[in-house]
Structure 1
Amino acid sequence: MTSTSIITEGSNIACVCSGDVGRPPGKLVFQKYRRDHILPIDYTANETSIRSSPDSCSYYRTSNITFKVTAKDNHSVLRCAVISTLAEGNVYVESQPLEVYFAVKMPTIIKYPNKTDYLVGLDTSISLNCTTDGNPKPNYLWYKDNQIEAISTRETFTIANVTTTNSGIYTCIVSNTFNDVIYTTRVQMHVCITKEGNKTPIMKQSNSENTAVIVVGTVCGSIILVLCVILLAVIQNRNKTLRCLLVRNRNDRSLDYVNTTQQQDPSLYEGVDHALDVHNYEQLARREHLYNNANLSND
């Protein structure tokens, strides 16, 4: 099996596989392996030829595939296997490990120990590990704050002297080169180193202070509740007084009407009690209606 020799991430490669597939003819299947694990492969297979071999009473098949490689294909191998019911065991051929060139990936910095703040006299050292991936192997450059000169060219930078002067922003720049192109990316991390006396103290309340706050809150709540009850009673009493005044005014107007009508014609009220009852009002109204009709007839 043959393939192209120079491979970069995102490029398409073509592989050709040829061999004896037996009789009846078997099929050629392509597989991709890396560290003994099968990797998914999305490819287009084209059969170029199949012919019989009279000398061996068998068939000879040739197939090829084309697929796009990624960074994960680095150091993987392509396998061309014969699939046949007559094949004994695994019959296949493998390519050489693929050398896939790809640009450095975005790095990350891991601190050890992993803390937000470091204390002078308590922490003895701080390790900053810059991790990335790339082929060819990445190069590392460490910088602190706005310094022009690099402080390290290793993957891991160690702050051996934990003092406040070593606080600052640390930058890790990674790069690699292939096909005469330089690929570079970077990441930054802030390291804070303080003295013990510079830490902000945490204020704590005593139990007596907490108890005083609870008592004051309870008293205030009780006072507010009493005021609400008094206000509700005043509102209800006022509404009751207004209702009494309305009823009284209504009764007064009814008495005035009865007295005026009685003076005009006392006969209308014969047998009718002066109590202000709804039924008496209806009886008076009927009699007044008859009285008015009688007067109109006499006229």
Structure 2
Amino acid sequence: MTSTHVITDGDNVTYVCSGYVGQPPESFNFQMYHRKRILFRNYTSTKTSTQELPESCSYYRKSYTTLQVTAEENQAIIRCVVVSNSANVDLYADSEPLEVYYAVRMPIINKHPNKTDYLVGSDASINLTCTTDGNPKPSYVWYKGSKIQAIGTGENFIITNLNETHGGVYTCSVSNTFKEVIHIERVQVHVHIVNNDKGNYPNPIYIIPAPVVKDTVSARSGDNVIIIGITCGSILLVLCVTSFCVVQQHRKKNLRCLTKNKDERSVGNVQTTQQDNSSFYEGVEQTLDVHSYEQLSRTEHLYTNFNV
């Protein structure tokens, strides 16, 4: 059984199975095995041809099947099985392991021992392990900080003889190449090293209490009520003052009109009396003066009391 070559993740692969199938001719069935276990995937033939061989009283069959492969099916085997009710044993043929090329996956870094802070004099070493997957097999390069010079290769990087200079950010870069394309992925990890002899201690953990939402809402509601009350009171005060001023102006106007009318009537009486009897002019003038003075005094008294 044969297949196409240079297979990558997501490609369609065609398998051809051929051989003697007896008389009457039997059929072929395709199955996939991965790591010595069947994946319960049966593939029917997309194309079949048979040829009778009279000299051997048998038939020769050739069948084709096409399937799409993924990275998870790397190293899988396709089996061509003869479907026969008369055969005493299973007749089949296996393909070569399926070689599926796929880009390197995003790696992860594990620290051993797995700690947040490492103490100088207490921790002897730190083992950093970079784990990824890809086909072809990925290559590994380690970097520290912003330096472009590699400090190591391989899946593991071990830090020994710990001191403060070993602290910092470590980068694991993984890559693989196929079909003239380079695939690269990177991951970083921070290593914090503490030297107690110099007074460097692990970063403290601060606990910040959560705010009480209920009290805040109540306080805000109280402030809103106070503001609304002040606003309403101010509006009422302005209305009251305005109304008072309007009433005062109206009363003053009426009082001036009343005084004017009385003065005009008094002057008319005086003139009439002078024309009728001039002999009484002086007496009337005195009476008028007294009358006017008393009238004006009462008016001024009423006006003063009203203003008070």
TM-score w.r.t. the length of structure 2 is 0.61
One-letter code of the match for 2:133? D
Residues 1-299 of structure 1 correspond to what in structure 2 (within 5 A)?
1-39=1-39, 41=41, 43=43, 45-196=45-196, 197=199, 198-199=201-202
Q: Distance in 1 between matches of 2:99 and 2:67?
A: 15
Q: Distance in 2 between matches of 1:174 and 1:17?
A: 39
After TM superposition, give the deviation of residue 23 of structure 1 in Å.
Answer: 3.0
Q: Distance in 2 between matches of 1:187 and 1:54?
A: 66
One-letter code of the match for 1:145? G
Q: For residue 55 of structure 2, give the secondary structure of its aligned residue in structure 1.
A: coil
Which stretch of the first structure deviates more once superposed, 178-187 or 13-22?
Answer: 13-22
After TM superposition, give the deviation of residue 186 of structure 1 in Å.
Answer: 0.8
| CA gap 1:145/1:43 in 2 versus in 1, 3 angstroms | farther
Q: For residue 5 of structure 1, give the secondary structure of its aligned residue in structure 2.
A: coil
One-letter code of the match for 1:123? D
| CA gap 1:138/1:201 in 2 versus in 1, 3 angstroms | closer
Deviations 1:231-252 (A, max 9, x none): xxxxxxxxxxxxxxxxxxxxxx
After TM superposition, give the deviation of residue 42 of structure 1 in Å.
Answer: 7.1
After TM superposition, give the deviation of residue 168 of structure 1 in Å.
Answer: 1.1
Greater Rg over alpha carbons, structure: 2
One-letter code of the match for 1:146? S
| CA gap 1:32/1:138 in 2 versus in 1, 3 angstroms | same
After TM superposition, give the deviation of residue 201 of structure 1 in Å.
Answer: 7.8
Whether contact under 8 Å (1:44, 1:67) holds in the other structure is no
Q: How many residues in Structure 1 have an aligned counterpart in Structure 2?
A: 203
Deviations 1:67-97 (A, max 9, x none): 1111122222211111211122221111122
Q: Distance in 1 between matches of 2:5 and 2:203?
A: 62
What CA RMSD, in Å, does the superposition of the two structures yield over aligned residues?
2.1
- The percentage of aligned residue pairs carrying the same residue is 55
| CA gap 1:126/1:25 in 2 versus in 1, 3 angstroms | same
After TM superposition, give the deviation of residue 51 of structure 1 in Å.
Answer: 3.7
Q: For residue 28 of structure 1, give the secondary structure of its aligned residue in structure 2.
A: strand
TM-score w.r.t. the length of structure 1 is 0.63
After TM superposition, give the deviation of residue 132 of structure 1 in Å.
Answer: 0.8
Q: Distance in 2 between matches of 1:132 and 1:200?
A: 32
Q: Distance in 1 between matches of 2:203 and 2:139?
A: 40
Whether contact under 8 Å (1:22, 1:86) holds in the other structure is no
Q: Distance in 2 between matches of 1:71 and 1:161?
A: 41
After TM superposition, give the deviation of residue 157 of structure 1 in Å.
Answer: 0.5
